[in-house]
Amino acid sequence: MITSPKIEPRHLRLRALVYVRQSTPQQLQHNQESTRRQYALRDKALALGWASEQIHVIESESFFEQPESTYAGVLDFLDLPPAMPDRFDRWNGRPSSPMTPETRARLREHFLSHDRALAEILGREPAWLL
């Protein structure tokens, strides 16, 4: 366990939310370290003393694509009563051309070991595999 003078026992009784912003393919290609560091925040929280069940990772991709269920999951994790807004505006949705099945298969194969490692960290499949 890592110790920090900023982390007090009262902090470790709280829950931790980690928000991971998915990047564009170009950002992923040129800034892979950024993505690794974002997911490493969960490991850092574990190392600082938070229990795994006290950490909830929110992937921006799931929040953009399924805001209702993602938001409901956050409320549930925080033991807050349901308080859903009337609607969720989708600000980051943009039309794109569908990916060919061949390209999708090639990318899944290429990133398979990374996706498995991430699933191990998250305790579930990443949003883009669902």
Helix (H) or strand (E) holding 30: helix 25-30
Name the band, by pLDDT with cuts 50, 70 and 90, for residue 81.
Answer: very high
Q: Is the pLDDT of residue 90 over 80?
A: no
Q: What is the pTM (predicted TM-score) of this model? A: 0.65
Of residues 93 and 20, more confidently modeled: 20
Name the band, by pLDDT with cuts 50, 70 and 90, for residue 130.
Answer: low
3-state secondary structure of 49: coil
C-alpha–C-alpha distance, residues 105 and 110, integer Å:
9
C-alpha–C-alpha distance, residues 115 and 118, integer Å:
5
- Asked if residue 102 lies in contact with residue 122, where contact means CB atoms within 8 angstroms, the answer is no
Mean pLDDT for 90-94 is 63
Residue 56 DSSP code:
E
